[in-house]
A = this chain, B = another copy of it.
Amino acid sequence: MAAAGPASGSGPAAPVLAVDVGGTKLAAAVVEPGGRVVAYDRVATPNGEGLDAEGLWRTLQGLLDKVHADAGFPPLGGVGAGCGGPMTWPAAEVSPLNIPAWRGFPLRERLRARYPGLPVRVHNDAVCVAIGEHWRGAGRGRSNLLGMVVSTGVGGGLILGGRLVDGASGNAGHIGHVVVEPSGPPCECGGHGCLEAIARGPGLVAWARAEGWRQGGQDVTGVELASDARRGHPVAVAAMRRAGHAIGVAIASATHLCDLDVVAIGGGVSQAGALLFDPVEEAFRAHAWMAFARKTQIVPAALGQTAGLIGAAALIVAQDRYWNAGD
C-alpha cells in the first residue's frame, strides 16, 4: 500500500504538531507528512498536590511551543493528539484514568482555540499507537492489524480493511478487556478475568511479589519485571509466561472475530522479548487452529516511544484511513 498523498484524499502536505498525553509523560513532536519526526521532547506529567487542570494545560502548552520552536517554527498543517482514556469522542473531553487533574477537560476545544484555523483531532493514546504501527511500523502495508500496548494498562487499536475502526463511540480496540478467564481476578473496569486484569504491569508485579519477587521494592514496574525476566529471575520469567498466556488467548479470540493479518505488541512489558512472545505464541496456537487464524502473525511493535506521536500525526496527514469523524 502506497504512502498517503494528496491524490488519495489525505490531509495537508505541511508538518503536523503531534501530542501524546499519558499518566507518566507528556510528549510532543513535529512530524513531517511522510511520518518523519523532526523535533521531539517530553516532560514528566505533573502530578503534585493541588495541581489543577489549568496547571497541567500550561505545562503542555510550554512543551508544544518548545518542539515547534525546535523544528524552526514551520507552518503547521494540523494538530493530532493521543490521550489516555476515557474520553468522549470525537469531541475529546478527556478524563484520563491516571491524570486526576483532568476530568472532562476539553482537550480538543483548547487545542483548537490555540491553533485556530487548523484541523485538530484527538483519539485514544493506544489507538494512536496502533495507527502509528499500521502507517509506518510493524503493520505497514497490511490491511488488518491489531495494535496492542501492554504497559500500566493493556490498550489497543484496530485497523480492518485498511481503515481505523472506531466503533459506536470511538472505543473500539479495548483488547485489554477481552475476557480471558471468566472466573479470573477482578479488573479495574469493574469486571473480572479481563486480559488487563492479568497482564498489565502492576498486576504482574503484584503477582510476582506474592511469589517472592522483590517483596521489599517500592515503585517497581512491569519494565523492571521484564528486565529481571531477561536476567533469568525465575519468578519474573513465570510472570511473563502468565502474561503471555493471557495475551495469546485474547489474540486467538480477536483474530477469530476479526481475521487479522498481524498483531503488533508494544509497551513496557513487551520489552521482555521472547520470554513474553514465546508463551504468547504457544497459547495462541493452542487456541487458534483454523487455517485463516493460524496465518495471523504476532510481532513486536516497531516504532518504540514515538509510535503514538506518529499515529497522532496520521490522524491529520492520512485522514482518509484513520479519521472517520468528519472535520
Contacts and interface: CB of A to CB of B under 8 A. Distances in A.
Determine which residue in A143, A173, A254, A292 has the highest number of CB atoms from chain B within 10 A of its CB, and name it: A292
A193 B182 CA distance: 11
Interface residues of A, number: 52
B160 A167 contact: yes
B254 A257 contact: yes
A254 B158 CA distance: 12
Interface of A is mostly: loop
A189 B259 contact: no
B292 A169 contact: yes
A115 interface: no
A257 B172 contact: yes
Interface in A138-187: 143-144, 158, 160-161, 163, 165-182
B259 A169 contact: yes
B258 A158 contact: yes
B258 A167 contact: yes
Nearest to A144: B168
Interface string A183-225: 0000001111110000000000000000000000000000000
A292 B88 CA distance: 10
Contacts of A173: 257, 259
Contact of A189 (B171, B174, B290): B290
A249 interface: yes
A166 B288 contact: no
A256 B295 CA distance: 23
A260 interface: yes
B174 A257 contact: yes
5 smallest CB-CB distances across A and B, nearest first, come from A167-B259, A190-B289, A177-B256, A172-B259, A171-B292
Given A86-B291, A191-B287, A182 B249 contact: yes
A21 interface: no
A258 to B, nearest CB: 5
Interface in A271-326: 286-293, 295-296, 324
Given A191-B252, A290-B189, A260 B167 contact: yes
7 contacts: A86-B291, A169-B259, A170-B259, A171-B290, A177-B252, A179-B249, A191-B286
Contact of A257 (B143, B175, B261, B295): B175
A182 B296 CA distance: 19
B181 A258 contact: no
A270 interface: no
Contacts of A181: 182
Contacts of A174: 256-257, 259, 290, 293
A249 to B, nearest CB: 5
B167 A144 contact: yes
